[in-house]
Amino acid sequence: MAAAAILLLACAVVAPCAHAQDAPAPLQESPVPPPPAPRHSTSLKSTVDLVALHVTVTDKKGDLITTLEKNNFEVYEDKVRQDISLFSRADIPVTAGLVIDNSGSMREKRPQVNAAAMTFVKTSNPQDEMFVVNFNDEYYLDTPGDFTNSQQALDDALSRIDTRGSTALRDAVIASLSHLKKGHRDKRVLLLVTDGDDDASRASFPEMMRAIEKSDATIYAIGVFSQDDREHDKRMVRDSSRVLREIAEASGGRAYFPADLSQVTPICQRVAREIRSQYTIGYYPSNMARNGSFRMVRVKVLSPKGMGKLDVRTRAGYFAPSADAGN
């Protein structure tokens, strides 16, 4: 298996979209789980038809821009400008999942990957609720209960290193996105670490992408490829990079490709700071049809004088509710 290590970070609310007989099963506790905490079954629901976008703005150097006002933004849905009804920039807590590849080829990488993941935890809002999923050809919930904000519990869960088997990346992503539906925060995150290609999932790539599109997730990807991979497995590196970029761009996140593992920790710090510095922009769509169609979304930023060109990121779109959808 190739030696690519990949970190993904995402905010999400989604259920698996594979056919019933092929869909990844719900998360199950590890065969040797820590003592369970009380489980919470309450799912959050969006306010009626309000589309909420988590928006990141950076300058040409990649530095975060956090001083913009509502009048610096325009929102378009299917090329039609929308009226902004909600605007804020606040450090709100998130629900986050750390989804870590535990396949055989990750054995030498896990210590540094775990340290980087804990850096993300420590840099995040203390009120965040998180969970850890370790996966190879199966996937297990390794934190006590559904969520925790205990750094020790998260560190213990990340330390469950039993690297073996294959990589069911797509299945683990879909199941983890579904698990986020149990969260108590309106903003949601996944951190996924993997190396090499998916060689064990039942779900297809289009099914995983549809699950991402059906969510309000922001996904951050960090792909770390060894020098040997870059020289002798260029096709894997190219294909894996493409997949990560597609995942990140669809969700409004970003894919990172550091030269070596030592750069993963500062990237995790940056991602945590970015999540805490995003704008939230909400609007009620002018297209009120409840037809379940996919609506393309674009946010345009109007740079204040002297600030230069700014880059803006948010999710690519969303699925409109269906007329027969339940309340």
Q: pLDDT tens per residue, the chain (327 residues)?
A: 444 444 444 444 333 333 434 556 677 665 433 333 333 332 233 445 899 999 999 999 999 999 999 999 999 999 999 999 999 999 999 999 888 888 887 888 888 889 999 999 999 999 999 999 898 999 889 998 899 999 999 999 998 877 888 888 889 889 999 998 899 999 998 887 777 778 899 999 999 999 999 988 788 888 878 788 888 889 888 888 888 888 889 998 888 888 889 999 999 999 999 999 999 999 999 999 999 999 999 999 999 998 999 999 999 999 999 887 654
Q: What pLDDT, on a 0 to 100 scale, did the predictor assign at position 30?
A: 54
Q: What pLDDT, on a 0 to 100 scale, did the predictor assign at position 58?
A: 96
Q: What DSSP line would sit under 198-251, residue for residue?
A: --S-SS-HHHHHHHHHTTT-EEEEEEE--HHHHHH-HHHHHHHHHHHHHHHHHH
Q: Does domain 5-14+91-275 have CATH number 3.40.640.10?
A: no
Pairwise CA distance, residues 3 & 227, whole Å: 9
Pairwise CA distance, residues 188 & 96, whole Å: 6
Nearest by Cα to 158 from 219, 112, 95: 112
Q: What pLDDT, on a 0 to 100 scale, did the predictor assign at position 35?
A: 36
Enter the pTM of the model. 0.82
Q: What pLDDT, on a 0 to 100 scale, did the predictor assign at position 22?
A: 52
Q: What pLDDT, on a 0 to 100 scale, did the predictor assign at position 160?
A: 82
Q: What pLDDT, on a 0 to 100 scale, did the predictor assign at position 148?
A: 95
Nearest by Cα to 53 from 85, 78, 7: 85
Query: Would you kindly state where each structural domain of the chain is located, as residue ranges?
Result: 5-14+91-275
The two three-digit tokens of residue 209, written as one number: 């992408």
Pairwise CA distance, residues 107 & 118, whole Å: 18
Pairwise CA distance, residues 65 & 124, whole Å: 18
The two three-digit tokens of residue 310, written as one number: 């700014």
Q: What pLDDT, on a 0 to 100 scale, did the predictor assign at position 48?
A: 54
Angle between helices 110-123 and 264-275 (to 10 degrees): 30
Pairwise CA distance, residues 184 & 226, whole Å: 38
Task: Yes or no: say if 177 and 84 are a contact pair by the CB < 8 Å rule.
Answer: no
Task: Yes or no: say if 176 and 201 are a contact pair by the CB < 8 Å rule.
Answer: no
- 94-101 and 129-135: which strand pairing? parallel
CA 150 to each of CA 39, 53, 100, 130, 153: distance values in angstroms, whole numbers, following the listed order: 15, 28, 18, 9, 5
Pairwise CA distance, residues 220 & 210, whole Å: 17
